[in-house]
Chains A and B, each alone.
Chain A
Amino acid sequence: MSQELFKEMAQSILDGDDEVSAELAQKALDGGIDPLAAITDGFMPGVNEVGDNFACGDAFLPELVMAGEAMKAAIAVLEPAMMASGVSRQVLGKVVLATVEGDIHEIGKTLVGTMLTSSGFKVYDMGVDVPTADLIAKAEEVGADIIGLSALLTTTMIKQKEVIDEVAKRGLKVMVMVGGAPVTKEWVQRIEADGYSEDAIGAVSVAKELMGL
C-alpha cells in the first residue's frame, strides 16, 4: 500500500499540486506511515525529478516553484507529527532569509527560499524590508547556519555589508550569502560575504558548498 502512496506523492510534486500533496501527507499519517519515510521515499523523489528536469531545461521555473510549494505543503502536514514523536527530518542547514531594510523587492528572495526548502534546507523567510537588528536576533534565536540577503538597489545593497559587519562584530558563527541584480563578484569580495549567486538555482549549490556538502 505504501509503495502505491509513495508514487502518488511523487506525482503530486511533479504536478505541483499543493492540495493533493497535503492530502496525501495526511493520508500517510492516518495510515500510520512513518512521516520521515513519506518525505524521503514519497515526496523527495518527485522533487529530485523536477530538479533534474529543470537542470536539463525540460522543466520551466513555474513547475519547479510549484513543486517546491507542493513539497512545503506536505512538510507542513508531516512536521508536527515528527516533532511529536521526537524525530526530526534531516535538514541540510538552517537559513534565515530576507530582503534588506529599505528594499521591498521580493521575488528573487522568495524563489531562493523555495529552492532551498525543497532541497532540504530549513528556511526562515522574514520577508522584505527587514532591519539588520531583527535579522541578527532571528539568526541567534534559531541557531542559523546561513543568513541569506537580497537587495535590488545600489542604495540598499550597502545593508548587506551592515549585516556582515554586525555578524563579525558579535563574533557569530553564521555565514552570509548575498544576491540581487546589482550584486557582482567584486561587491561580494569587497563586503567579504561568504557566498553569492545570480539565480535561485545557483543559490542552492552555494548554500550546500557553505555547509561543506
Chain B
Amino acid sequence: MTKNIKSITNPKLKLEILTPQEVQKIHHATLHIIENVGVRFPSRRALEIWEANGATVDHESMIVKVKPQIIEEAMKNAPPAYELGARDPQQHLNMDGNHVFLGTDGCGVEIMDIETGQRRSSVLKDAGDIARIADATEEIAFHWVALSAQDKPAETRGLHEIKTVWENSTKHVQTESIYNETEARAAMEMAIAVAGSKEELRKNPVLSLMQCTAPPLGHDGGSLDAALVAAEYGVPTGFMTMSSCLTTGPATIAGTLAVGNAEVLAVSALLQLAYPGAPIFYAAAQTASDPRTGVYTGGGPEDFLFGAATNVLADFYNIPLSMGSFATGAKEPNWQAGLENSMSTFMATIAMSDMLLGAGFLHGSRIWSYAQMQMDCEIYSIMHKTLQGIVVDDETLALEAIAKVGPGGNFLTQKHTRKHMYDLFLPKYMDRRPYNVWEEKQDNADDWALERAREILSTHQPDTLDLKISAEMAKVISSLEH
C-alpha cells in the first residue's frame, strides 16, 4: 500500500484475450514488418545508432529495416520491473506487473471552468490546480500534465507544466509534452533538482517521459531525441502508439495491433541499443476511426479489445505497459462517458496494465472536466472492487449466520453482518436515493462530483516543495527563454 494511492493488485478475475499462439503470430508479423517494410526514424542520432548496430538504414527516407535477431537481442536488456519515483518516498509506484496505477489524462486544450462551468482555453494554473486535486485523490497515483499551459511560450511550455505539477503534488510526474532534446535536457536538470542529484534521479526517477509514435510505422525526430536523453539519465521512457483502424492502421484490429507493435518494439529496441538496461515501457491507445467520417472516436468496442490485448504484448516483451483508457468521446458526462470509460477501464485493468490513462477528459482528451475526473475515479474504484472477485471460504459462506436467521427474517442484526458490511462497495456518485428526493432536487452525479472537486481545491494543501528547488527549476526554464 502506497500512501494515499489506491492500486489494483492480485486480481482474482482473469481474461484470455489472445492465446499464446496468437501472440506469437502477432510477434512474427511485427518482426516481419520491421525487417521488410521498415520504420521511419527521422533523427540523425537514432539513425546512427541503428547503423552502428547492423540495421539497414536509408538516409534519404530515414527508414530503418532491422533483422529480428537484433530486435530480440536488444529487448533482452530491458528491465522487466522497476519503480517510478516520487517527491514523497512513500509514493513510489512499483512497475512489477502486479499493480495497476491510474493517472490523469493529459495534454488537453480546454477546460470546463471549476467556478463558472464555462468552457475556455487552458492555462498554466489549470495544470497546477488539477495536480493539487490529484494529489489529494487516492485513485490517482501519478500525473500526466493534464492541460496545455497555453499562456506560456511554446518552446518552454512543457517545462512550466512539470514545474507546476511538482509544486502542487508529491506524486510521480509523467510528461507527454517534452518534444525535443533541448527541452528534455532541461527537464532532466529540473528532475535532478527535485530528486536531489543525478544519481538519486536514477534511483528515484521522479519523472518519466511518454512520447507518441507517428503511425503508421513512423516516429517524430524530436521525440526520439528527447527519449534518448531520458534513457541516458535512467528516466523511464515509453512510446505510445495511437494507431487507428481505418486511417493510420489497417481496418482490422489484428493488423492495427501489428502496426503499433512494430512502432513500439522498434523504438524500444533502439533505446536498449543506445542505453542497455534503460527503464522503458510500452504505451498504447489504439482506436478505430469512425467509418462514416474518419474522426477520432475516443471509445468503442475496438478500443476495449486493444486495451486488454496490448498488455499481453507488453507482457510478451516483459516490459511495463501504460494503457490509454477513459478519455471518452462524449461531450459531457453522460451515458456514453460512463459506458466508454467503464468498459475501456475494465478491459485494461483485468489485463493488469501497469499504468492507466487517464481520468478527467471529455471529447476525446480535449476538454477537461473536474466532475468527469472524480467520476472516472469512481469507475476505477469499481474496477478495483470488481477485480477482487468473490472470496469463497467458511467465513464468507456465513453458515452460522444463515442458521441463526433461518427462513424469513433478515440478516441486518447478525454479528457476521456487522463484521462484513464494510466489505460492500460504497459509491460516491451513484444515485441510490428515494425517487422523491431526486425529484425535488433534480441533481445528479456530476453535480456532486464537481462539488467534491471544489471542496478539495479550496481545502487541500499539498506538501510544499522547497522554494530553492522551485527557484532552480525557474532558472533552468528562464535560461531557455532568453
B residues 413-437 in Cβ contact with A at 8 Å: 413-414, 417-418, 421, 434-436
Tell me whether B413 and A66 are in contact (CB under 8 A): yes
Q: A65 — nearest CB in chain B belongs to which residue?
A: B412
Tell me whether A62 and B408 are in contact (CB under 8 A): no
Q: Does A23 lie at the interface of the complex (its beta carbon under 8 Å from any beta carbon of B)?
A: no
Q: A63 — nearest CB in chain B belongs to which residue?
A: B418
Q: How large is the interface on B (under 10, 10 to 19, 20 to 34, 35 or more residues)?
A: 10 to 19
Beyond A185-B436, A198-B434, A198-B435, whether A110 also contacts B410 by CB under 8 A is: yes
Tell me whether B434 and A62 are in contact (CB under 8 A): no
- Taking CB atoms, residues of chain A closer than 8 Å to B414 are 62
- Taking CB atoms, residues of chain A closer than 8 Å to B409 are 106
A residues 53-81 in Cβ contact with B at 8 Å: 60-63, 65-66, 69
Per the bound structure, the CA–CA distance linking A117 and B412 in Å amounts to 16
Mask, B360-390, CB within 8 Å of A = 1, is 0000000000000000000000000000000
- Taking CB atoms, residues of chain B closer than 8 Å to A110 are 410
Q: Does A37 lie at the interface of the complex (its beta carbon under 8 Å from any beta carbon of B)?
A: no
Mask, B386-415, CB within 8 Å of A = 1, is 000000000000000000000011111110
Q: A106 — nearest CB in chain B belongs to which residue?
A: B408
B436 contacts which of A69, A111, A198 (Cβ < 8 Å)?
A: A198
Per the bound structure, the CA–CA distance linking A107 and B410 in Å amounts to 7
Per the bound structure, the CA–CA distance linking A197 and B437 in Å amounts to 10
Q: Which residue of B413, B414, B417 has the most chain A CB atoms within 10 A of its CB atom?
A: B413
Per the bound structure, the CA–CA distance linking A106 and B411 in Å amounts to 13
- Taking CB atoms, residues of chain A closer than 8 Å to B412 are 61-62, 65-66, 111
Mask, B85-104, CB within 8 Å of A = 1, is 00000000000000000000
Q: Does A16 lie at the interface of the complex (its beta carbon under 8 Å from any beta carbon of B)?
A: yes
Tell me whether B436 and A62 are in contact (CB under 8 A): no
Tell me whether B434 and A16 are in contact (CB under 8 A): no
- How far, in Å, is B213 (CB) from chain A's closest CB? 47
- How far, in Å, is B339 (CB) from chain A's closest CB? 27
Per the bound structure, the CA–CA distance linking A60 and B411 in Å amounts to 13
Tell me whether A65 and B413 are in contact (CB under 8 A): yes
Q: B408 — nearest CB in chain A belongs to which residue?
A: A106
- Taking CB atoms, residues of chain B closer than 8 Å to A111 are 412
- Taking CB atoms, residues of chain A closer than 8 Å to B408 are 106
Beyond A65-B413, A106-B408, A107-B410, whether A60 also contacts B434 by CB under 8 A is: no
Q: Which residue of A16, A61, A62 has the most chain B CB atoms within 10 A of its CB atom?
A: A62
Per the bound structure, the CA–CA distance linking A185 and B437 in Å amounts to 12
Q: B417 — nearest CB in chain A belongs to which residue?
A: A62
Q: Does A131 lie at the interface of the complex (its beta carbon under 8 Å from any beta carbon of B)?
A: no
- Taking CB atoms, residues of chain A closer than 8 Å to B418 are 16, 62-63, 66
A60 contacts which of B413, B421, B435, B436 (Cβ < 8 Å)?
A: B421
- Taking CB atoms, residues of chain B closer than 8 Å to A66 are 412-413, 418
B413 contacts which of A62, A106, A185 (Cβ < 8 Å)?
A: A62
Tell me whether A69 and B434 are in contact (CB under 8 A): no
A16 contacts which of B413, B435, B436 (Cβ < 8 Å)?
A: B413
Per the bound structure, the CA–CA distance linking A185 and B436 in Å amounts to 8
- Taking CB atoms, residues of chain B closer than 8 Å to A65 are 412-413
Q: Does A199 lie at the interface of the complex (its beta carbon under 8 Å from any beta carbon of B)?
A: yes
Mask, A15-35, CB within 8 Å of B = 1, is 010000000000000000000
- Taking CB atoms, residues of chain B closer than 8 Å to A198 are 434-436
- Taking CB atoms, residues of chain A closer than 8 Å to B435 are 184, 198
Per the bound structure, the CA–CA distance linking A182 and B325 in Å amounts to 39
Q: A202 — nearest CB in chain B belongs to which residue?
A: B434
- How far, in Å, is A108 (CB) from chain B's closest CB? 10
- How far, in Å, is B451 (CB) from chain A's closest CB? 15
Per the bound structure, the CA–CA distance linking A185 and B417 in Å amounts to 33
Tell me whether A199 and B417 are in contact (CB under 8 A): no
Per the bound structure, the CA–CA distance linking A60 and B412 in Å amounts to 10
Q: B424 — nearest CB in chain A belongs to which residue?
A: A60
Tell me whether A199 and B434 are in contact (CB under 8 A): yes
A69 contacts which of B411, B413, B417, B421 (Cβ < 8 Å)?
A: B413
- How far, in Å, is B406 (CB) from chain A's closest CB? 13
Q: A128 — nearest CB in chain B belongs to which residue?
A: B408
- How far, in Å, is B243 (CB) from chain A's closest CB? 46
- Taking CB atoms, residues of chain A closer than 8 Å to B413 are 16, 62, 65-66, 69
Q: B410 — nearest CB in chain A belongs to which residue?
A: A107
- How far, in Å, is A103 (CB) from chain B's closest CB? 14
- How far, in Å, is B240 (CB) from chain A's closest CB? 40
- Taking CB atoms, residues of chain A closer than 8 Å to B410 are 106-107, 110
- How far, in Å, is A212 (CB) from chain B's closest CB? 21
Per the bound structure, the CA–CA distance linking A62 and B434 in Å amounts to 19
- Taking CB atoms, residues of chain B closer than 8 Å to A107 are 410
- How far, in Å, is A18 (CB) from chain B's closest CB? 8
- Taking CB atoms, residues of chain B closer than 8 Å to A184 are 435
- Taking CB atoms, residues of chain A closer than 8 Å to B421 are 60, 62
Mask, A78-122, CB within 8 Å of B = 1, is 000000000000000000000000000011001100000000000
- Taking CB atoms, residues of chain B closer than 8 Å to A202 are 434
- Taking CB atoms, residues of chain A closer than 8 Å to B411 are 62
A residues 181-198 in Cβ contact with B at 8 Å: 184-185, 197-198
- Taking CB atoms, residues of chain A closer than 8 Å to B417 are 62
Per the bound structure, the CA–CA distance linking A200 and B326 in Å amounts to 38
Per the bound structure, the CA–CA distance linking A110 and B411 in Å amounts to 12
3 tightest Cβ-Cβ pairs between the two chains A and B: A198-B434, A65-B412, A62-B412
B-to-A contact residues, CB < 8 Å: 408-414, 417-418, 421, 434-436
Starting from the known contacts A60-B421, A110-B410, 6 additional A-B residue pairs (CB-CB under 8 Å) come to A62-B412, A62-B413, A63-B418, A106-B409, A198-B435, A202-B434
A-B contact pairs, 10 of them (CB 8 A): A16-B413, A16-B418, A60-B421, A62-B417, A65-B412, A69-B413, A106-B410, A107-B410, A184-B435, A198-B434
A-to-B contact residues, CB < 8 Å: 16, 60-63, 65-66, 69, 106-107, 110-111, 184-185, 197-199, 202
